Structures are given as structure tokens and as C-alpha cells.
Structure 1
Amino acid sequence: MEIVQPPATLKLPAEMFTGDAWADVIYRGEEPSRARANLVRFAPGARTAWHSHGLGQTLCIVEGIALIQARGGEIVEARPGDVIFTPAGEEHWHGAAPDRFMAHIALWEGDDVDWLEHVSDAEYAGPRSS
């Protein structure tokens, strides 16, 4: 057993995020492991660009109100304790509600992430379901 010293908190890049978001690496497996886990914090209104993961992604909401949308679907509102799974190849985005900070633990495998265009303000303001 060992205590692992994590890297410094990373400000996430504007090419992939709208607004301010930061990540703390929880786990980044070394080959042959492909496991990845980050704690990601979003300022109010911050969100990812549209993207997909080659092997899917799981989000566990730990604080605030999360907004998540799969391409062509409604925006889903998620709260602490909610777990959301996006299957391999599903284009989606996730971020904070306009008036709340949000934090989630993101779990995925490998580095096969396809980053796409930013989520427009109109898409972000679309109808929500709980």
C-alpha cells in the first residue's frame, strides 16, 4: 500500500470547456490498466463541449446541480448521489446549472475521447427534466 501524491489541480482548457472548470486526478492507471478517475468542479454555467468516450463514461454527482445531455435528448438535471452512465460513442455534454457550482467524479477508461464543438447558449438553455 502507498499514499499517492496527486498532481496539482488543473484548470481545464477553453478548447474543451465553456466557463471555469478544474480537475483533480484521483486515479490514472498505468498500462495495462486504462482506468481513469477525476474530481471535476464547475463554476455556475460552466460545461464541457460536446464529446464522446470510446468506452463510455460514468459520472457520480457529489455537489450542486448537474446538467447532462445526450445528443438529440433532453437536458437531465442530476443531484448529489445520482450516477449517470453514457455508453461508448454517445455524444454528450455535462456541466453546472446556471446558478450553482457543481462537482462530479468522472470515471472512464483510456484516453479515447472525441472532443467536438462547444455547447451553444441556446442548447444549454434548452428544456430540462429531473
Structure 2
Amino acid sequence: MSNIQDISESVIFSKGVKVPNDHFIGAAHLEMLVSNDNIFNCPIGNVTFEPGARNNWHKHPGGQILLVTGGKGYYQEEGKPVQELHEGDVIKILPDVKHWHGATSDSWFTHLAISTNVQKGETEWLEPVTDKEYNNLK
């Protein structure tokens, strides 16, 4: 039996489709729950990371909120220590703060990603989180 926590089939929402790896290391899946439009202006995506998967460093001009719904993950802002995330955690990311998030090496990780103030601009994708950076978290 594997020591990896598998929540891939026990998520609240569908895990969606595999994300193209342009801005991710490892496999991640996305199910858009609320699309951006002129009425709600608040896209919400269910993001599921396979163990060890993470996104690149990036910034949101309007900020972002993460609601953790399952598994174990990491969140890190540039220049600050990594935070381990668990089901029920809420992360409020201020506008233009460079950060990344993803799964621990031994667990799937799922969160709702809520983009706020999207009229301020698109996500700015930056460099990958290297294996060295990721493996030095523990």
C-alpha cells in the first residue's frame, strides 16, 4: 500500500481536465466553477494537484483567495517561509504578491482558487519553482 494520500476521487467538485503544463510542474487539474463575466467578475476554479505538483511563481494584480478543500499542500510568498496547508485553511493573497502553491510530495491537494478584482489584469506567470526550492521546504 502506498504512503501517498489520494483524495483524487473524494473531492467536493469534479477535478476537471488536466492543465497544460506551461505554468505547472507535475500534473494538475482544473474545473472552472464560475467563469469571469461582467455580472459576477469573480472567477472560481477547483484546482487539484497530484502529489509533488505545483504552479510557477506568479502574481495576481487583483489578488486571490484560496479555500483548501482536501489533502495537504504548500503556499509560499517570496521571501517568507512556506506554509503547510490543510482542509479548511483560507489564504488571502494581496494584489501583486509573488507566490506559488501546490501539493506536498505525499498527498494530493485540492483548493478553490478565487480571483478577485479581475478588472485589474490577468495573472502574471513567472519562473518555475525549482526542484531544489521545493525539496528544501521540509
TM range (shorter): 0.7 to 0.9
Indicate the residue corresponding to 1:78 in structure 2: 85
Could you tell me how far 1:91 is from its partner in structure 2?
0.5
In structure 2, what is the equivalent of residue 40 of structure 1?
Answer: 47
Is the CA contact (8 Å cut-off) linking 1:75 and 1:126 kept in structure 2?
A: no
User: Is the counterpart of residue 69 in structure 1 residue 76 in structure 2?
Assistant: yes
After superposition, give the CA deviation of every residue in 1:88-118 in whole Å (9 maximum; x if it has no partner). 0000000000010010000013251000010
Percent pairwise identity: 33
- The alpha-carbon deviation at position 52 of structure 1 amounts to 0.5
Aligned with 1:12 (options 19, 27, 38): 19
Say whether 1:116 aligns with 2:126: yes
Residue in structure 1 matched with residue 57 of structure 2 by the alignment: 50
Aligned residues: CA RMSD = 1.5
Unaligned runs of 5+ in 2: 1-14
Which deviations, in whole Å up to 9, do the C-alpha atoms of 1:43-100 show, x marking residues without a partner?
Answer: 0000000000011111011111110100111110010000011100000000000010
- Whichever residue aligns with residue 37 of structure 2, its letter is E
Counterparts of 1:97 and 1:105 in 2: how far apart (Å)?
A: 17
Aligned to 2:30, the other structure's residue is in SS state: strand
TM-score, normalised to structure 1, is 0.87
Task: Give the Cα–Cα distance (whole angstroms) in 1 for the partners of residues 128 and 63 of structure 2.
Answer: 20
Partner residue in 2 for 1:98 = 105
2:70 aligned with 1:60, yes or no?
no
Letter of the 1:18 counterpart: I
Deviation at 1:33, TM superposition (A): 3.6
Matched residue count: 121
CA distance in 1, matches of 2:122, 2:37: 15
1:38 CA displacement: 0.4
Q: What residue in structure 1 maps to residue 12 of structure 2?
A: none
User: Secondary structure at the residue paired with 1:90?
Assistant: coil
Richer in strand (by share): 1
Provide the secondary structure at the position in 1 that maps to 2:132. helix
Deviation at 1:15, TM superposition (A): 1.2
